[in-house]
Chain A
Amino acid sequence: GIQVEQSPPDLILQEGANSTLRCNFSDSVNNLQWFHQNPWGQLINLFYIPSGTKQNGRLSATTVATERYSLLYISSSQTTDSGVYFCAASGSARQLTFGSGTQLTVLP
């Protein structure tokens, strides 16, 4: 099945800084999603982005399907952005395969 790799595994930022999280996938995808798992354990949908670019406030995402990667940009980070960010993808199989996540800590 599809393999999903995320980098970096850990990221520590000062409040107000910008960051880029990367997701590489091993095969063509028909679904790619970014999630934020907050400190309470909830998985929050950030983007559904199998291709192209989307923006939502301080967050934006780009998926280049032909090169098999996706990027999540966080600008002007806030302490509430802390948590684990997951990328998940599906190809021909009818299931999402998750990456191992990026643990983001934003310091005040």
Chain B
Amino acid sequence: DTAVSQTPKYLVTQMGNDKSIKCEQNLGHDTMYWYKQDSKKFLKIMFSYNNKELIINETVPNRFSPKSPDKAHLNLHINSLELGDSAVYFCASSPDMGAGGTEAFFGQGTRLTVV
């Protein structure tokens, strides 16, 4: 059973389109995250949700909007895609990290290419 799963794995789309990436975890974790990995492989946090509530929102264009329908799901919607949005997006989950440090697990990533 996959612990953290993302769909799709690959996404190729034209500039200006709107797209969504879905993420689900079956670990019973309270906290979910979205990370972006750029072309130099640097990983940076975008958003963090704890029990469906947004707790971290780094400096990300407001074209990016996370949505958490329940604590097992955290989807990422991107409006008006730009070339610079091309990257690999990772979803992750952990037990409540605010409770003193807990192990995070990552999905397999979604490679987004904007043409």
A residues with CB within 8 A of B: 29-31, 33, 35, 37, 41-43, 45, 48, 50, 84, 86, 88, 90, 93-98, 100-101
Contact = CB atoms under 8 A, between A and B. Distances in A.
Interface residues of B, number: 29
Q: Across the A-B interface, give the 4 residue pairs with the lowest CB-CB distance, nearest first.
A: A30-B101, A31-B101, A48-B103, A98-B43
Of the listed residues A48, A90, A94, the one surrounded by the most CB atoms of chain B closer than 10 A to its CB is: A94
A94 B97 contact: yes
B50 interface: yes
Contact of A98 (B42, B96, B100, B109): B42
Given A30-B101, A41-B111, A93-B56, 15 more contacts: A29-B101, A31-B97, A33-B104, A41-B88, A43-B90, A45-B103, A45-B106, A88-B43, A90-B97, A90-B101, A94-B50, A94-B97, A96-B97, A97-B45, A101-B42
B7 interface: no
B103 A30 contact: no
Nearest to A103: B41
Q: What does DSSP make chain B's interface, helix, strand, loop or mixed?
A: strand
10 contacts: A33-B103, A41-B108, A42-B108, A43-B90, A88-B43, A90-B97, A94-B48, A96-B45, A96-B92, A100-B41
A100 B106 CA distance: 17
B43 A95 contact: no
A43 B106 contact: yes
B77 interface: no
A38 B12 CA distance: 22
Given A84-B41, A98-B42, A50 B101 contact: yes
Contacts of A45: 103, 105-106
